[in-house]
Amino acid sequence: MRTRICEMLNIKYPIFQGGMAWVSTYHLAAAVSEAGGLGIIAAGNADAEYVREQIKRIRQITDKPFGVNVMLLSPYVDEVMNVIIEERVPVITTGAGNPGKYIRALKEAGTKIIPVVPSVALAKKMEKDGVDGVIAEGTESGGHIGELTTMCLVPQVVDAVTIPVIAAGGIADGRGMLAAFALGAEGVQIGTRFVCSEECTVHLNYKNAIISAKDRDAVASGRSTGHPIRCLKNKLTREFDKLEEQRAPKEDIEKLGIGALRRAVIEGDVDKGSVMAGQISGLIKDIKPCKEIIEDLIKDYQNTLNKLRG
Partner 1 sequence: MIFEKVKERISDILGVDADEVTMESSFMDDLGADSLDVVELIMALEEEFEIEIPDEEAEKIQTVGDVVEYIKEHTDM
Question: Counting contacts by CB under 8 A, is residue 118 touching partner 1?
Answer: yes
87 interacts with partner 1 by CB under 8 A: no
- Residues 12, 47, 100, 283: which binds partner 1 (CB under 8 A)? 100
Sole window of 14-22, 52-60, 97-105, 179-187 interacting with partner 1 (rule: CB under 8 A): 97-105
| Contact between 310 and partner 1 per CB under 8 A | no
Asked if 238 touches partner 1 (CB under 8 A), the answer is: no
Q: Is 119 in the site for partner 1 (CB under 8 A)?
A: yes
Cβ contacts of residue 181 below 8 Å, gap of 6+?
1
Of the candidates 60, 226, 245, 306, which one interacts with partner 1 according to CB under 8 A?
Answer: 226
Q: Which is nearer to partner 1, 251 or 306 (CB)?
A: 251
Query: With CB under 8 A, what is the number of residues at the site for partner 1?
Result: 14
Residue 137: CB minimum distance to partner 1, A = 13
Residue closer to partner 1, measured from CB, 121 or 258: 121
Q: Indicate which single residue of 47, 129, 198, 296 sits in contact with partner 1 (rule: CB under 8 A).
A: 129
Provide the binding-site residues for partner 1, judged by CB under 8 A: 97-98, 100-101, 118-119, 121-122, 124-125, 128-129, 146, 226
